[in-house]
Structure 1
Amino acid sequence: MKTLAARMAACALFATLFATAAAPAAAHERTLFITSATEHADDTATFPLYRGRHGNTDVWYIVLDSSDGKDAERRGVNHSQKLANVRGTQAAQKVSVDANGVVQFPATVDFSFQRRVIPGPAGFPPSLADPGAVGEIGYSPLIQLPNGVILNAPHIANFTGQAAKVRGMDLGTYTVRMELTRGFQGGRGVLYLSTDASDPAVAALENVTFAPQLKFAPRAGGDGTDSARASLAAFVNGQTGAANPQRQGLNSALLDGLSPLNVLFWNPKQGRYSPLWDVYPAQWSANAVATGRNLRQTDFGQVENLAQDGRITGPDGARFAAADFVVNCPIVSRD
């Protein structure tokens, strides 16, 4: 069993609770991976909106990734071949499609819960973290179509309410504007959309849907093409200060009110990309902190090198390793 500190360290890294530090680059300077999206200067993006059905009620969802390359190209979404590894598992809900092309979902999300996050004595870890949106039994943002294709199709609204990241829905144009989060990948800045998490505390801190079925996505610590997950590093004790160019981490997110600037391993143009991020909490050693070597990191491979050198560990000096939390965060664009 992981300690509460280790568990909450993994949880708190998903800080879409916090405002971002800097304005994004101009649209023409960025690589837009989800080409069906339109980015805006306030770290939001507009996505196509789809209507599905759950029993006798409408549900509204977006599509962000597909396991099939041709399908992804047609939809203007990310291709993630690794999502095929959830086919037939509890991580995906099987759906049907009616004669009009409307997806019929066995389960949806209850958006009516009250989200509560109470900081602990030192801010982190929080003493209470309850999510504001909870998936019904069997709900997953990953859906398996009758032809076997896996889509990342999170629900963002239904009769119970709407997701907290929604900034506006237009049912006339079938579009929705969503809040994005900043991070790093391969030494460059990225914007990603966080929608679901497999742990309730993580979901509360990230302000997304608690979707426990995601925990069945294979497999913790598995970053290869035989896994459905990809690796993400989140620092628990980086430098702080809103104006500090080296700031990064959960402590900065809590003290400075800014993004923790998590470090993602792959981007959607790489075969090992997946929107299902396997979280590696990263703690700088006491020596690294004392000597000022706890500098901002932007590349997961370099984080691994620092862990091998002993400058980075897991929380409380544990081995740098996956904490077995899954967060659904597709990368939308990169600097």
Structure 2
Amino acid sequence: MALSLAACSNSTESGSGGDLTPPPDGIPLSGELDRSKLTMTSVISANLDLNVARVPLFRGTYNGARVWFVRMDVSDSALAVELGLNFAPRLANAQNGCPACVQTVQSSDPVLGRAEVAFGGTVDFTPERVLVPSETGFPPLMAQPGSVAGPGYSDLVRVGADPVVFNAPIVAVGDGPFDVTETHTNTLDRVMAIDTVAMTVDMQFIRAFAFGTDIFYFTFSSSGGLSSTLERGTFVPVLGTVPFANDDQNLAGARSAIFTFTNGMRGEVSPPGQ
């Protein structure tokens, strides 16, 4: 799942970018992103030097064990404004023909994160992320995601029978200390720092383009093993059955198109290098 955190109308190109790519012309090269550019007002800060944004962190449990999650999108417009999240109405369609695509969680408050949350599934962060390039770089010889969804897990959740759907991925498990090095044995590979006192987490974001606009977005998971590895996300196979495959125009569906490129110009003489 990918979602926008900010947009800046400076580019004349369109397409999709990758991790830590030098920014296009017109985007500041350093410093903090201007808050007026944020599409998610709950974002605390966005550092353009590191391509890292700080967002609120929330507590939960899975079978009594501690998990930590973030809130990104919600299918209800009023809640999106109130909580500073992206309004994503099509999330409400994610269960159409796919009940397992939305995880049901339990909480005393229907607004996710206002009270303790008990998840029905969790993430295994212990696998080692492995990416071995081929002679030409892509496709790789080997790709192994660094985190994998367990039974019953989906980033998309609803509280009990409430119809509102949140995109609320688990980004860490346990009581710490948290591994935010290369191994990330108990955190998502995009977690750069986590503070369970201040209740914040620093997440690496991606630079991209959409309809001629430069955007910065978070990515947390994918239904494909290769894309999960490349994007440092969690491999969540059930997301592959979110309605409807190869049809983002269906109003009863929950998908939106994203385009990536693997055959662009490369090298230091082709900024931004790919």
Find out whether 1:68 has 2:76 as its counterpart. Answer: yes
2:39 alignment partner in structure 1: 33
User: In the alignment, does 2:107 pair up with 1:93?
Assistant: no
Q: How many residues align?
A: 235
Shift of 1:27: 2.7
Select 2:196's aligned residue among 171, 179, 201: 171
Aligned match for 2:254, one of 228, 240, 243: 228
Alignment of 1:44-123 (within 5 A): 44-87=52-95, 89-98=99-108, 101-123=115-137
Whether the aligned pair in 1 keeps the contact of 2:94 and 2:102 (CA below 8 Å) is: yes
Whole-Å separation in 2 of the counterparts to 1:28 and 1:236:
31
Shift of 1:239: 2.2
Find the counterpart in structure 2 of residue 264 from structure 1.
none
Contact kept, 8 Å, 2:59 with 2:116, in 1: the verdict is yes
Matched, 1:211 2:248: no
Cα 1:150–1:60, aligned 2, differ >3 Å: closer, same or farther? same
**Within 2, Cα distance between the matches of 1:236 and 1:201?**
13
Deviation per CA, 1:222-262: give whole Å up to 9, x if none: 223322111111223222233425x6xxxxxxxx4x4xxxx
Q: d(CA) in 2 for partners of 1:243 and 1:51? A: 46
Equivalent residue of 1:233, what SS?
A: coil
Q: Percent identity?
A: 32
User: Distance between the aligned counterparts of 1:29 and 1:69, measured in 2?
Assistant: 21
- Give 1:40 deviation, angstroms: 1.7
5+ long unaligned stretches in structure 2 = 1-14, 175-184
| Cα shift at 1:122 | 1.7
Task: Tell me: higher relative CO, structure 1 or 2? Use CA pairs within 8 A at least 6 residues apart.
Answer: 2
- 8 Å contact kept, 2:143–2:229: yes
Asked if the contact 2:16–2:208 (Cα under 8 Å) also holds between the matched residues in 1, the reply is no
Counterpart position of 1:126: 140
Q: TM-score, normalised by structure 2?
A: 0.79
CA distance in 2: counterparts of 1:244 and 1:121, whole angstroms = 20
For residues 136-191 of structure 1, give each alpha carbon's deviation from its aligned partner in whole angstroms, at most 9, with x where no partner exists. 01211000222111000000000360111111111111111110101001101100
Tell whether 2:32 aligns with 1:22. Answer: no
Deviation at 1:216, TM superposition (A): 1.5
Q: 2:267 aligns with which of 233, 241, 251?
A: 241
The answer to whether the 8 Å contact 1:106/1:138 transfers is yes
Stretches of structure 1 that go unaligned for 5 or more consecutive residues are: 1-12, 248-255, 259-335
Matched residue SS, 2:41: coil
Q: Is the 8 A contact 1:66 1:83 kept in 2?
A: yes
* Distance in 1 of aligned mates of 2:22 and 2:46: 17
| TM-score normalised over the length of structure 1 | 0.66
Checking the alignment, whether the CA contact within 8 Å between 2:104 and 2:159 is kept in structure 1 is: yes
- How many Å separate the matches in 2 of 1:179 and 1:113? 19
Instruction: Give the AA of the match of 1:169.
Output: I
The Cα of 1:48 is off from its aligned counterpart by 0.6
**Paired position in structure 1 for 2:6:** none
**Letter paired with 1:74:** E
